[in-house]
Chains A and B, each alone.
Chain A
């Protein structure tokens, strides 16, 4: 039970990131003319990255090969770093820091990216120790 929990915790967190970024912690809404604000691209990028992260982390829980598991975990940690930097650093957001892209999406993406990266460490260590 504990083993399964630790194996699939990162994937669950990544799924939460994907779902949270399009619901409770989404970026700003649409403008009255129907167009999206600039921060929408950051939200889309975070959601897409989170979906890829989920797939990577589910896969690392299923495969048995030591090298593949190490590669998948390393890729996940690198993607977490990208998710951390996407809103506001790699992709521009709105003009006011009181907007929800700054108050909700950015902190949520950053907190979750750190949590996912940290939760990948046990998997990475166990893969490295595996014979």
Chain B
């Protein structure tokens, strides 16, 4: 039996093409809003994760490595490389005022893997002085201490033999003892180890004739020095002091390294704002317009309902329920579609846009989805207002007489 409760949904089904148009516009609006908010949140999440993972205020590298190491892009699309400077630099840096801690790192790039064109950045840290890698090792869930030929891999590295957790570099087997959580940056494509492992791999690389530095001395070389600045000191001033006092080095602050990602975030934010406006306003307008057309076309139907005893409150309830149902259905469809696409193709989008990308946790995503439903609710409210205006102006008796 037909009831007032079932009537709105039957009406929507009865005017299928107009209802579909309303649902489509609501879906586009919500998809643009949800997709935009999620994309911006994911890029911002990447920036924050990288900032936390970087852990150092200044990174010192040899000046001669300019061609291989661009501080601004290193965290987004670094091409694996290796360069060295004398380890005396470490003591010189420690003696500079404002330096709280300094820890060396040693780099090597893997040869192309047999499976593909992948080359990995191998990064060795000094467990005795390190303050940037070790704080994150606990998060990998490993309880094993890093020994000779043990490595921890970034989240983007998929090691070939998952069964025995072994990865090969220069014909040397390394045991994978853990994997870092994703940062959405080039750090995810790196492999971390201690100095002894790195020196062993450099020897293996050299014996294969692939190492490009003939006069390399493993005991007296470092690739970079990470610096933590004392509280109250300005990182940029300390970096300037390092550059002035130590010849042949380049010192870049964390802010400088993150500037490439921050620029990406700015570009994404402005593009997303423009996209949201471009979809939201016309979408809202069209959804309201289609609903108003639909209600206007059904004036006689509402007049007949009045004649059967339905008061204005019942007619309003029918119109409001129809508007809410169509717009919320469209909103939900838009959110699901844009959510699935962003979750599935996030890596592709980040790669094309040169930005870091880390999806927010599920709870935050659900809150964002709720926020993205607001435009649909607003469209429903505007549509209802328009419908109520049409219904209140309708003279049922006059309309029914016209039909006789």
A98 and B340 contact, Cβ closer than 8 Å, known pairs A31-B117, A38-B116, A107-B345? no
Chain A: minimal CB distance from B114 (Å): 8
A37 and B348 contact, Cβ closer than 8 Å, known pairs A95-B158, A97-B158, A98-B156? no
Name the contact of A96 in the complex, choosing from B156, B340, B344, B348 (C-beta under 8 A).
Answer: B156
When distances are taken between beta carbons in the complex, the residues of chain A under 8 Å from B248 are: none
A95 near B115 (CB under 8 angstroms)?
yes
Chain B: minimal CB distance from A59 (Å): 29
Name the contact of A39 in the complex, choosing from B116, B189, B347 (C-beta under 8 A).
Answer: B116
Q: Is B55 an interface residue (CB 8 A)?
A: no
A95 near B118 (CB under 8 angstroms)?
yes
A108 to B344, CA, bound (A): 8
Chain A: minimal CB distance from B185 (Å): 10
CB-nearest residue of chain A to B113: A95
A92 near B157 (CB under 8 angstroms)?
no
Chain B: minimal CB distance from A26 (Å): 12
- A1-45 toward B: CB 8 Å interface, digit per residue (1/0)? 000000000000000000000000000100100000111000000
Q: Is A66 an interface residue (CB 8 A)?
A: no
Q: Is A84 an interface residue (CB 8 A)?
A: no
Q: Is A58 an interface residue (CB 8 A)?
A: no
When distances are taken between beta carbons in the complex, the residues of chain B under 8 Å from A110 are: 344
A37 to B79, CA, bound (A): 19
Interface residues on A, range: 20 to 34
Name the contact of B116 in the complex, choosing from A95, A103, A104, A111 (C-beta under 8 A).
Answer: A95
Name the contact of B347 in the complex, choosing from A38, A93, A95, A97 (C-beta under 8 A).
Answer: A97
Chain B: minimal CB distance from A75 (Å): 25
- B140-171 toward A: CB 8 Å interface, digit per residue (1/0)? 00000000000000011111100000000000
Name the contact of A94 in the complex, choosing from B116, B188, B344 (C-beta under 8 A).
Answer: B116
Task: Tell me which residues from 89 to 127 in chain A have a Cβ below 8 Å from any Cβ of chain B.
Answer: 92-100, 102-104, 107-108, 110-111
When distances are taken between beta carbons in the complex, the residues of chain A under 8 Å from B113 are: 94-95
A97 to B188, CA, bound (A): 9
Q: Which residues of B approach A to under 8 Å, CB–CB?
A: 112-113, 115-118, 120, 155-160, 188-189, 340-341, 344-345, 347-348, 351
Q: Which residues of A approach B to under 8 Å, CB–CB?
A: 28, 31, 37-39, 92-100, 102-104, 107-108, 110-111
Which 7 residue pairs are nearest across A and B when measured between Cβ atoms?
A107-B344, A103-B347, A94-B116, A37-B116, A38-B115, A95-B118, A103-B348
